[in-house]
Amino acid sequence: MHIHILGICGTFMGSLAIIAKQLGHTVSGSDANVYPPMSTQLEMAGIELMSGYSVDHLFPMPDQIIVGNVMARGNEVAEYLLNNHIPYTSGPAWLHDQVLQERWVLAVAGTHGKTTTSSMLAWILESAGLKPGFLIGGVPENFDYSSRLGDSKYFVIEADEYDTAFFDKRSKFIHYCPHTLLINNLEFDHADIFDDLDAIKRQFHHLLRILPSDGKLIINQDDPNIKDVIDMGCWTPIESFSTTNHAATWFADDIDLQNSQFTLQQNDKPRGLGALKLFGRHNISNAIAAIAAAQHAGVYVEDALQALTTFSGVKRRLEHKGTFNNINIYDDFAHHPTEIAATISAFKDQYPEGRIITIFEPRSNSMRLGIHIEHLANAFDDADKVFIFEPSDLEWSIKEVTQNIKPETKVFTEVDNVILDLINEVKPGDNILILSNGSFDGLSAKLVLQMSRRESDAIH
């Protein structure tokens, strides 16, 4: 069967394409924005990519068309499908019908940490010999791709609350029907489709309504918004996790942030020592959540702890891009004030002696609309210097934020100027942190190239 995917380079749809290919289908796809790492892994998998959205891409007509939620009414291809009564489906609905119906689905939901936590969980199950399938909104370093069909009943999925498609406004995770559900946290986001936090809570409540009573719900003990969702109705046994509250079922005690080590407790009983390659309190929280979910699938806690010692992270999630002349460069997907603050704080704990120079692109829909500007300035408090790129489509004045940012801040409208200024600014011992949930016009790769050349010139 030939499947064509509209919006194929999105993190979900690209991962879906990999699974469709593994099922034996011929897969092609179109997207307006084709860039690594998703475009790279799709090309490696032998999937044909087409730039832009054109009706011509549908000829000869594929056997099935999967429509990503990036497609909107008014788009040439969307209107063609509707006007000509051509069958189509959404990515989440296709995944449910073709893959998930007979699987034990372990879903990781929440505003932050989904990608890293799902990757940790998939790696724990893999290390335990369970050969899980998975679909993750990023590329885990421990696997070749962001998704795979798997060779067992277990399937790990990053469960996003964003809407399904222009013709199905329910959250995507409603289609996944999980048996194990992990909720990391809950904040207001996706302001382009949700009016307020209560609207998001309602979608999470809908998810709890289809969670079986013999399943498991694993929640962040410290998040009051999750408790609000549970108060709407929950029919499933609950376990909790925390790095600060001993009352949680799973608790990380004796935390050493410098070395990313902790003692894991379950119901106030020591279960073993944990050690991660990743740094930051938020990643320790992600880890104990993943351990709890893995135990529900039958993995021994000791085996889960051992597996996490070899977990290498996810591309663009605090990804180390290189060290040049004792200057570290990291790339991260953080785009919400809470994520930004957590990432910078983790850097400060890891590199207490070096300066933290942060480069930020306000690119997400919520950020462009100005939903988070009230909290954005304080997110940079732990940085030493801030560079902000100002996109042309920003719907608020960047000065409203920069005047309230404590560290020295510069604003740029050209990516190349960011790099030029940064090259003249940095010195040995500095740590550069790039924050964007998009390609950032290739800034990361360009900066690595320039820093590498500068280091080479210094040697010679």
Six-digit token string for 311: 């977990």
Looking at residue 370, its pLDDT comes to 66
Do 71 and 158 fall into the same domain?
A: no
Six-digit token string for 64: 């099935």
Over residues 317-371, the pLDDT tens digits come to: 778 888 898 999 988 876 678 888 888 888 888 888 889 999 988 877 666 666 6
Angle ∠(244,246,252) on CA atoms, nearest 5: 60
0.75 surpassed by pTM: yes
Last residue of a domain, one of 87, 102, 129: 87
Q: Give a yes or no: residue 314 inside a domain.
A: no
Angle between helices 301-308 and 281-296 (to 10 degrees): 140
Q: Give a yes or no: residue 358 inside a domain.
A: yes
Do 298 and 150 fall into the same domain?
A: yes
Do 32 and 151 fall into the same domain?
A: no
Q: Give a yes or no: residue 199 inside a domain.
A: yes
What range defines the domain where residue 66 resides? 2-87
Do the bridges between strand 180-183 and strand 163-165 make them parallel or antiparallel, or are there none, so unpaired? unpaired
Looking at residue 339, its pLDDT comes to 82
Q: Give a yes or no: residue 163 inside a domain.
A: yes
Q: Give a yes or no: residue 342 inside a domain.
A: yes
Residues contacting 355, CB < 8 A, separation 6+: 384, 385, 429, 430, 431
Single-letter amino acid code for the residue at 86: I
Do 191 and 73 fall into the same domain?
A: no
Q: Give a yes or no: residue 114 inside a domain.
A: yes
Last residue of a domain, one of 87, 113, 146: 87
Domain count, the chain: 3
Return d(Cα 339, Cα 112) in angstroms, integer: 7
Last residue of a domain, one of 87, 122, 155: 87
Angle ∠(435,438,443) on CA atoms, nearest 5: 65
- pLDDT under 70: residue ranges of the chain: 35, 37, 334-335, 365-372, 455-460
Looking at residue 455, its pLDDT comes to 66
DSSP 8-state symbol, 96: I
Do 297 and 395 fall into the same domain?
A: no
Q: Could you give the C-alpha distances from 58 to 92, 95, 315, 317, 378, in angstroms and in order?
A: 21, 21, 32, 35, 48
Do 246 and 350 fall into the same domain?
A: no
CATH number of domain containing 42: 3.40.50.720
Q: Give a yes or no: residue 313 inside a domain.
A: no
CATH number of domain containing 230: 3.40.1190.10
Do 48 and 115 fall into the same domain?
A: no
Over residues 256-286, the pLDDT tens digits come to: 998 999 999 999 999 999 999 998 899 999 9
